[in-house]
A and B are shown apart, each in its own frame.
Chain A
């Protein structure tokens, strides 16, 4: 199955894209997806446990993903 990882700010810069299609196995979790992302070139600049939202809801690393999910990997926020 495939999920779409959305990357922002410094993470998008590190991985060279703001959106990456991640091939995953059924049953894979947020943590598994992050491990795959972090293994990509530049992925070492994404921390092991960043803030993550799946389909606009904040989720923990053990949350199980489904095909077509939108996984947003969120750097430390700096608005205002």
Chain B
């Protein structure tokens, strides 16, 4: 298990390689990336910031929970902070397990918990030059989809 808050580009292939093991018959890679639009507005980029000490703690706690719930230690999660452009990965989750069902479920568990619990914030920048902090408690993004 490994978690990290990073400032550079996340290399998803490296994370995938890190969780591979002969006992694992399934690997699931989740990549969360910056989307070109949100709530009907054209996005040019997102600036991510974090309360680093707590974010790192909470990511580790979530991964520990997933490890015990889904019975695998082969989990790596990296979340990026700083300014990201369209298509760049903000979060990557790699999970491997002997069987696919648990790998999929663990991956989903981690991203949903991360979005609710890890103190990371994003400020969207729009093509019209404005920017706004995203508040999931008021935005439509609050509902998983």
Contact = CB atoms under 8 A, between A and B. Distances in A.
A74 B52 CA distance: 12
B124 to A, nearest CB: 10
Contacts, number: 67
A20 B50 CA distance: 18
Interface in B91-141: 91, 111, 114-123, 133-137, 141
A33 interface: no
A21 to B, nearest CB: 18
B72 interface: no
Nearest to A79: B120
B90 interface: yes
Summarize B's interface: helix, strand, loop or mixed. mixed
B4 to A, nearest CB: 13
Interface in A41-55: 53
B115 A79 contact: yes
A72 B117 CA distance: 15
A78 interface: yes
A9 B90 CA distance: 17
B7 interface: no
Contacts of A53: 51, 54
Given A72-B51, A80-B114, A9 B32 contact: no
B137 A76 contact: yes
Interface residues of A, number: 15
A78 B32 contact: no
Nearest to A76: B137
A75 interface: yes
B53 interface: yes
B69 interface: no
Contacts of B133: 9-10, 13, 75, 78
B57 interface: yes
Interface of B: 32, 48-51, 53-55, 57, 79, 90-91, 111, 114-123, 133-137, 141
Interface of A: 6, 8-10, 13, 53, 56, 72, 74-80
